[in-house]
Structure 1
Amino acid sequence: MNNRYSRQELFSPIGKDGQERISNKHVLIIGVGALGSGCAEALVRAGIGKLTIVDRDYVEWTNLQRQQLYSEEDAKNRIPKAIAAKNRLTAINSSVAIEAIIADASVLELEDWAKNADIMIDATDNFETRMIMNDVSLKVGIPWIYGACVGSYGISYTIIPEKTPCLSCLLETVPLGGLTCDTAGIISPAVNMVVSFQVSEALKILAGDLGSLRNKLVSFDLWKNQYSAIQVDKMKKEDCSSCGKERSYPYLSFENQTKTVVLCGRDSVQIRPSMPTMRDLEALENILTNQGGTVQRNPYLLSYTDNPHRLVFFKDGRVLVHGTKDITTAKALYHRYLG
């Protein structure tokens, strides 16, 4: 056990002192799907002191192609990802304290979890949670590492409060959103590449070597053999509502969060996006047609049935999720198809 991390300590930018720092750090990972499970395993093997993993979902067969911590047995029994991940991670390194939380990461919980962590890693499936993470990071004062991938494309960026532009600063300049794994598919090498970017940045922070941070937004497409690293330091905005001089942390406010309500007597949940929007039903039909369910569209709405659930999308952005009264289940379906 004494030489467990010897190869990592031989790497001079970490060394014994850096390893000691790593072993006393607490990492919070939001989402334990493809990116989350990859980051969690790498950091547990690296010997962090504590890991908190948060996920609202359970293991499904479609996860096994790329989510490396899970087994067929987990999928058969629909084990919550946070629990299945903890079981596997504990078997990998029993000296790491692992806290598994089965929950949807909302504002109050995220802020509470972040207060006790040294760094947050983004492994979520939607931009609303990322923007909440961004504001929580800035309010609490801990770094966070953004990451996303779909198809053969991936992207990552590290936010250091008071030093780098935040994710909100970049929204108007850099295209960060897009399709989801459920609508466009994904290959595991793209996952592994983003995990490598996220974990390497995390280790620099945990070991105390902030001078080696990348300070660029990286993106790539492995299938098209494309790679870019964008210098974004000049994109920091003095008037940014999240990190500027007169910041208000807008994504922590109720009015900027997705609204959900259980419809009385209808076994349905209505979801209304945080910002006013006009949804392109024809474009959405083209995306959902290849998903295996039944799509029906008229000039006013689009209905997508994937038993036992039916989602009805309206032009004003609202979505009705039929077949459940559980808000967490409804939000998971909403983000699965809309990102």
Structure 2
Amino acid sequence: MDSDLSRYSRQILFEPIRESGQLRLSDSTALVVGAGALGTVVCSQLVRAGIGKLRLIDRDYVEMSNLQRQMLFDEEDVKHVLPKAVAAKNKLEKMNSQVVIEPIVGNISIENINDLIKDADVVLDGTDNFSTRYLLNDACFKYKIPFSYGGVVSSRGMTAFFIPGKTPCLRCITREGEGDGQTCDTVGVISPAVDMISSFQVTETLKYLTGNQLALRQTLKTIDVWHNRHYDMKLSNSDPECLVCWRNEFPALQKTAQNEETVLCGRDTVQIHRKSDIDLEQWENRLGQIADIKRTPFLLKAALQEGIHFVMFKDGRVLVQGTEDPVQARTLYDRYIGS
């Protein structure tokens, strides 16, 4: 065995992989979007397994509340306010110096998705919102790149491995705006659920990259580790009304799809308009445990942290007050409001 492969000797002994599969893996590039709970587990497993190149993009920085479930970070990263992509690179290179790690501090968007995805063999979802997932889904299906989807909140998680031309896409099994609004910052999350879903994501990725496509799971898997529930929904035919699978329209790649944020000049405020309507009473109850709330017949004001407020309107608009940075505004919106 080549000395460079000796570190993977136990993986190479696994019959479905062997040395040929390991060599295929070492020639592969993975794009991981998001270095949070899912993304850190995904990156760790891929790097330890011997992926050739890992490109990682994340827009956030490490905070103390991340350490409960985001396995690549520690208190020193919090102390130095390191961007997650940078902190992840520092840890991953110590695990496996053979892997090329490309960290990108920023937000994935219609403007940069083509450059990020162009040479990837697979894209793995480590995000926390469906608007970004639809962007990844549409780009992957446009460029014929497999998409390993995963999502976790509370003790629940979902995952599926989508292959353009062979499986339906994410849009076939979910609908924009159908999310229940729950996020890890409103209902919490436990680490075992994260570990399980991300491990399923990586397992399917390893099957694909090592040439074991016949072993791929053909289901959308849903688990609730606390309540001992496991479901598998077969990925059958694409939805005949799907804009991506049947019409090749890729709506998230259209510039109008990205026109969600507007910086309100001189007001230290960013307006985000993703939803068609907002139930103010529902959101008063949902955010009341973590914010100071004031509701009128027309709007809901939520003071989330010092200097940051949400103003929510019935028509679906949300003002993020206390910043003029669209990336920070999106981060706060995704954290507390979600899809």
TM-score normalised over the length of structure 2: 0.95
Is 1:110 the counterpart of 2:110 in the alignment? no
C-alpha distance in structure 2 between counterparts of 1:110 and 1:38, whole Å? 23
C-alpha distance in structure 2 between counterparts of 1:153 and 1:259, whole Å? 28
- Structure-2 residue corresponding to 1:269: 270
Post-superposition shift, 1:324?
0.8
C-alpha distance in structure 2 between counterparts of 1:130 and 1:101, whole Å? 18
CA contact (8 A) 2:41 2:195 kept: yes
* From 241, 244, 269, the counterpart of 1:242: 244
Is 1:278 the counterpart of 2:280 in the alignment? no
- Structure-2 residue corresponding to 1:165: 168
- Structure-2 residue corresponding to 1:338: 337
Q: Secondary structure at the match of 2:323?
A: coil
* From 226, 232, 236, the counterpart of 1:233: 236
C-alpha distance in structure 1 between counterparts of 2:215 and 2:201, whole Å? 14
C-alpha distance in structure 2 between counterparts of 1:84 and 1:97, whole Å? 15
C-alpha distance in structure 2 between counterparts of 1:116 and 1:232, whole Å? 27
CA contact (8 A) 1:262 1:325 kept: yes
C-alpha distance in structure 2 between counterparts of 1:228 and 1:10, whole Å? 31
C-alpha distance in structure 1 between counterparts of 2:131 and 2:336, whole Å? 14
Q: Secondary structure at the match of 1:4?
A: helix
Q: Secondary structure at the match of 2:35?
A: coil
- Structure-2 residue corresponding to 1:144: 147
Post-superposition shift, 1:258?
4.7
Change (3 A) 1:83 1:172: closer
**Matching of residues 92-111 of structure 1 within 5 Å:** 92-111=95-114
**Matching of residues 198-237 of structure 1 within 5 Å:** 198-234=201-237, 236-237=238-239
- Structure-1 residue corresponding to 2:287: 288
C-alpha distance in structure 1 between counterparts of 2:50 and 2:217, whole Å? 22
CA contact (8 A) 1:29 1:120 kept: yes
**Matching of residues 1-339 of structure 1 within 5 Å:** 2=4, 3-172=6-175, 178-234=181-237, 236-244=238-246, 246-273=247-274, 277-291=276-290, 293-305=291-303, 306-339=305-338
C-alpha distance in structure 2 between counterparts of 1:142 and 1:264, whole Å? 39
C-alpha distance in structure 1 between counterparts of 2:196 and 2:87, whole Å? 23
Q: Secondary structure at the match of 1:325?
A: coil
C-alpha distance in structure 1 between counterparts of 2:63 and 2:255, whole Å? 32
Post-superposition shift, 1:39?
0.2
Q: Secondary structure at the match of 2:54?
A: strand
C-alpha distance in structure 2 between counterparts of 1:302 and 1:116, whole Å? 45
C-alpha distance in structure 2 between counterparts of 1:210 and 1:287, whole Å? 43
Matched letter for residue 66 of structure 1: R
Count of residues paired in the alignment: 333
- Percent of aligned positions with the same letter in both sequences? 47
C-alpha distance in structure 1 between counterparts of 2:34 and 2:198, whole Å? 13
Change (3 A) 1:176 1:317: closer
Post-superposition shift, 1:262?
1.4
Per-residue displacement from partner, 1:270-313 (whole Å, max 9, x unpaired)? 1111xx5111111111111111x211111111111121201111
Unaligned runs of 5+ in 1: none
TM-score normalised over the length of structure 1: 0.95
Change (3 A) 1:298 1:178: closer
Change (3 A) 1:278 1:178: closer
CA contact (8 A) 1:107 1:252 kept: yes
Structure 1 consecutive aligned stretches of length 4 or more whose deviation exceeds 4 Å: 175-178
Matched letter for residue 292 of structure 2: T
Matched letter for residue 243 of structure 2: S
Q: Secondary structure at the match of 1:108?
A: coil
CA contact (8 A) 2:121 2:146 kept: yes
Unaligned runs of 5+ in 2: none
Per-residue displacement from partner, 1:247-277 (whole Å, max 9, x unpaired)? 211111122235212111111111111xx51
Change (3 A) 1:27 1:100: same
C-alpha distance in structure 2 between counterparts of 1:194 and 1:258, whole Å? 31
CA contact (8 A) 1:128 1:257 kept: no
Per-residue displacement from partner, 1:214-270 (whole Å, max 9, x unpaired)? 010000111111000111213x123421111x3211111122235212111111111
